[in-house]
Amino acid sequence: MLDFLFGQLVATHATFDVVTLSDRTTQALAEDPWLAAGYALLGLAGVGGFLSLLGMALIYVERKVAAHFQCRLGPMRVGWHGMLQSVADAIKLLLKEDIIPDRADRVLFLIAPVFSIIATTLGLILIPMSPSLQVVDLNIGVIFISAVSSFGVLGILLAGWSSNNKWSLLGAMRAGAQFISYEISVTLSLLVVTLFAGSLQLSEIVQSQQDGWWIWRGHIVGLVAFFVFLIASTAELNRPPFDLPEAESELTGGFHTEYSGLRFSFFFLAEFINMFIASALAATLFLGGWMPFHIGGLHTFNGLMDLIPPGLWFAGKTTFIIFLIMWVRWTFPRLRVDQLMRLEWKFLLPVGFINLFAAATLVITKLYFFPW
């Protein structure tokens, strides 16, 4: 933990020693298989615990943010300012009766939430939260994240189909169409950063921003890519104003209409962790991840910025984007289903392609905001 917070202080900002948990496992593997198993278990337990804690924290934050947008207090009873409300809710969900509709496809109905939660977990392990806190650092991180996020939608499709309920099916169809459409825009804006950084590895993308975050080193292109990514990933998260798959005033809950108890909480948890992943990814790709605020060449200034631990940088940026997404949710109404498709295919997609082209030009001409 100390390493996580102050590792940055020891290192100069040019040389970051990235040692991930999986690297440690590999090293340990050569020495002692039991140690390796220990590391692997540690990683699993850490991710599992982090997953549920993060989910509960995000749910609490969401409720508080919503409450304050709506001039009310939100949960106040359980614990100080309702801090333990999520725990109480989790216990309630665990104890609730798990209902399976009589005419549902039992097998698929039962495994659908598992698909969702696995996709989420796989996405989470790739996020570099600080130089020393990243479970796995794949060299194809960006591709891998967009690949596993498709498991999540497979879970939603399964849930909607196996519930044997027309509302659920409608919700699942909407989710599928929405995901496939918006995935293109997400990938296009991911490619922009990949072009800038010249790597698919998330830790290298972070390293590439030590002279300035891509959101302004890539000036217009970076900004456009950032906003396209934010809009499209909000749509992938099925959050308002793009929450059509579960639009409760239209579809009474959409794909998870028939779910209750633990299985419902899986979807719920997956949704919130996905929000974290999307925010963390946006922070990593465009706002430098754990990289402090640096301006290329100004060493004194950069040194001062390095005093703030990288974990805090990462947490701050991610929290900011999470707040943005919540802000949008509690302010905007929902789009209609054809407007949603129009937004993607007639607006975001052309913008994404043009932006990718512009990014390629930028990389060739090196017209970055900080050319030095």
Chain residues in the site for another protein (CB under 8 A) = 29-30, 32-33, 36, 66, 69-72, 103-105, 107-108, 111, 138-140, 143-144, 146-151, 153-154, 157-158, 160-162, 164, 166-167, 169-170, 172-174, 176, 179-180, 183, 200, 240-241, 243-244, 247-252, 330-339
Question: Between residues 168 and 318, which has the closer beta carbon with respect to another protein?
Answer: 168
Nearest residue (CB) to another protein, 160 versus 309 = 160
**Closer of 149 and 265 to another protein (Cβ):** 149
CB of 336 to another protein, least distance (A): 4
Nearest to 13 by CA among 287, 256, 274, 207: 207
Distance between CA atoms of residues 37 and 263, nearest Å: 30
Q: Name residue 133's beta-bridge partners.
A: 130
Closest CA to 112 of 101, 123, 127: 101
Q: CB of residue 104 vs another protein: minimum separation in angstroms?
A: 8
User: Cα 228 vs. chain centroid, distance in angstroms?
Assistant: 15
Q: CB 354 → another protein: shortest distance, Å?
A: 20
Nearer to another protein, 103 or 366 (CB): 103
Nearest-approach distance from CB 179 to another protein, in angstroms: 8
State the nearest-atom distance from the C-beta of 252 to another protein, in Å.
6
Determine phi and psi for 325, rounding to 5 degrees.
-65, -40
- Burial grade of 97 (CB within 10 A; 0-12, 13-18, 19 or more): exposed
In whole angstroms, how close is the CB of 311 to another protein at the nearest point?
A: 27
CB of 140 to another protein, least distance (A): 4
Indicate the residue among 272 and 313 with the shorter CB distance to another protein. Answer: 272
Which residue do the tokens 């804006």 mark? 189
Distance CA 112, CA 135 (A): 26
Identify the CA nearest to 337 among candidates 221, 254, 281, 265. 254
CB of 160 or CB of 288, closer to another protein:
160
Residues 6 or more apart in contact with residue 308 via CB below 8 angstroms: 292
Angle in degrees, CA 291, 316, 280, rounded to 5: 70
- Chain centroid offset of residue 363 CA: 27
With respect to another protein, which residue has the nearer C-beta, 211 or 243?
A: 243
